[in-house]
Amino acid sequence: MITDLGAYNNEGDQRAYFKQYLPPGFLDTDLEKAVASRAGYWLHGRYGFTATYLSRLLQNTFGSPHTVLNDFVHGMTGFWPSDYNDNPFFTVELEKPCGYDFSGLLKESHKKPGLLITAATFMFQYTITGEIRGLSGPNGDSMVDYGVSRFKPPSIDGSGVAETDEPLAILALVIFLAKQHLTLEKHLLEALSTMDLRASGLAFEPFSAYLLARAFSTPRPLSEVFEFVGTCELQGETAELVTLGKSNGTFKYTPFDVNSDSRLGHVPGYSPLTTNETLKWLQNPQGSAFYFPPSAVGPVLIFVLRLTSDDTFLRVCVQFRHTNESLFPWTTKTIRGTEPPPFPSMVQRRRVDDV
């Protein structure tokens, strides 16, 4: 028998649940609408998350809803959300919520040597690229047992594939893995060093994105990271990596520090399944920092930098090349690879090449 306990994967369902307990009109103001949207991201996956947050909000007499949510996320994961902070002070002292206990996972890893590495692989892959990796077999069962993953429709039909996309579980596991000396950087470096070509290939692009994120975690001159061909007005500019989202027709940005103990209200990376989503992302990244487009689009990574001089946003298209041969023969292909074939500039280049 399968019982729907209320994962609230749909924000509308969660909002309807909130309305049963919140004062009339509470979710009608811009402030409270933002609360509902943030709760839809941070608390989806488990009914208990939503119910606990609502309980804590009631204890605080419905005041400071964003701060109550931030406090709950921090209590569960050790990270502070950086997507919103209304900064009031609590009218009551809230107890620390019961967080995740992964001590059993550590003990079980002694019997299953690859368990922690598997957990780190799909955890960090999701953190950077936004790809949800399914786990099956004993490792998938273990992740479900410890509250990290869950079986989602149609997986509950017996296919046995567990998925992990809950922010609270992900961030809590990131902290746990760091205590086991499995940091994002260390994991990616080890994956690149493996003799397994498939594993090293999967790690190459996320590691490259990680290096760019680390380079621009604080404002930095573009000329220190990029080599410009000829004279360019951007050479003297300083920029930082930001997440970008559109609200009421206006872009809002948040600086993104990959090594910070604060986390955004969105997965940093986004990996779509179709090329049609590329234009949508360019028009509104919806809070993500990295976009890994399908191969037909051209670049393997697009990210946004903010110029500190005038708040101009740059969409940076990147191709990565890893070869032991001379880089010169690859130069033209690499530059061309950042534009899909239908682009007018590409068509013009072909005509020139044909002459």
pTM for this entry: 0.70
CB 322 within 8 A of CB 303: no
Bond preceding residue 294 cis, omega within 30 of 0: no
- pLDDT value of residue 348: 45
Beta-carbon count within 10 A of 264 CB: 21
DSSP assignment of 274-293, as one string?
A: STTHHHHHHH--TT-SEE--
The tokens describing 272, both together, are 């779509």
Residue 19: partners with Cβ closer than 8 Å, 6 or more residues away: 26, 27
At residue 32 the predicted structure's pLDDT band, cuts being 50, 70 and 90, is: confident
- pLDDT value of residue 195: 54
- pLDDT value of residue 55: 92
| 247 closest CA partner among 92, 62, 31, 43 | 31
| 247 closest CA partner among 272, 265, 260 | 265
- pLDDT value of residue 265: 57
Backbone angles phi, psi at 94, to 5 degrees: -95, 135
Most confident of 101-105, 288-292, 330-334, 341-345: 288-292
CA 94 to chain centroid = 28
Write down the mean pLDDT value for the chain.
77
- pLDDT value of residue 160: 60
Query: Does the pLDDT of residue 158 top 60, yes or no?
Result: no
Residue 163 pairs in a beta bridge with 150
- pLDDT value of residue 202: 61
Q: What is the pLDDT of residues 51-100, one digit of tens each?
A: 999 999 988 888 888 889 988 988 898 888 877 766 555 556 788 888 88
Query: Does the pLDDT of residue 347 top 70, yes or no?
Result: no
Report the C-alpha gap between 38 and 33 in whole angstroms: 9
Instruction: Give burial (CB, 10 Å; 0-12/13-18/19+) of 124.
Output: buried
CB 207 within 8 A of CB 189: yes
Backbone angles phi, psi at 306, to 5 degrees: -110, 125
